[in-house]
Amino acid sequence: MHSTLELNTIVPADAAKITVVRRDGSPAPLDVTKIRKVVSWACQGLDANPITLEAGLTTRLRTGVTTREIQDNLINCALEMCSPAEPDWRYVAGRLHIWSLWKDALVSRGYQYGDYAQTVFTKVQAGEYDSRILTYTLDELQEAGSWINADWDMDYDYAGAVLLTKRYLLPNELPQEALLTCALLLASPEVPEKRLKWAKRFYEAIASRKISLATPILANLRVPRGSLSSCFIAAMDDNLESIFETITDTARISKNGGGVGVNVSRIRATGSWVMNKPNASGGVIPWIKLLNDTAIAVNQGKFFCPSMA
């Protein structure tokens, strides 16, 4: 029978008998001190007692348990303890989620933060990053990588960390890499001798949340054909050519991750004359339906907003 002991009752002699399965699938002796270090790190600077989190661990530490199971259970314990009186547990859960991201990156690509230039080259080659990022030289990318501050990853609560992971990050990409790449692309139109200066200012402002990037920019700027703008305005004239040209433009904008607002005020009212026929116009509603259906069909998680202004 496998040895089963809860974290808060383990003594070193018993823990040495337990083998866990790491993220890469390899077995390893259970090291309780590593779990306690992670818990202590996650609670650092917050109104959250790491001993309380250890005591709440319900996953049985047995031979064959995975490190991911232990991590997920710690996250669930932290979330269960979150309350209006103790809100900091949501940040503990967020940090534990980020810790899992770091570990997954280490397993899948062999490093966490520390080789930003390699991340850029790999993702450009895989078609995940826009090749515009390669207007920066290797030395410039390495310098930019030195700006990364992993501590900024600790500022997300659990909901924010999960949203960032599922909606914005690319596979095998870490939060600060995404933000730094956006900053570099934002600064890329500047003259070469000044663009790193601006990129650093952009990165530090974005990473420290002094600037909040709109969803289309954060999600799409660094991917191929990504846009530097998040919202677009179009206008329909009162003829079929203009109407369907606007619908096509709406589809293209949505395809590239932009939100679009369309001015439909020029369309004649319901019941107006069309080609010398009275009461022939259906008004703006049929065209708004077409625009809406187009936005749904070419959906990149963005929005369409008709305007009568």
What does the DSSP assignment read for 1-61? ----B-GGG--HHHHTT-EEE-TTS-EEE--HHHHHHHHHHHHTTSS--HHHHHHH--S-B
- The whole-model pTM stands at 0.75
Is residue 93 in a domain?
yes
Is residue 107 in a domain?
no
Give the structural domain span for 142: 113-220
Can you list the residues of the chain whose pLDDT is less than 70?
1-16, 58-60, 257, 279-280, 300-309
pLDDT for residue 2: 40
CB 76 within 8 A of CB 32: no
Is residue 91 in a domain?
yes
Length of the chain: 309
Of the candidates 228, 207, 212, 231, the one whose C-alpha atom is nearest the C-alpha of residue 304 is: 231
pLDDT for residue 59: 65
For residues 164, 132, 102, 80, the Cα torsion angle rounded to the nearest 10 degrees is 0
pLDDT for residue 150: 94
Considering its fold, how many domains does the chain have in total?
3
Among 220, 244, 274, which residue terminates a domain?
220
Is residue 225 in a domain?
no
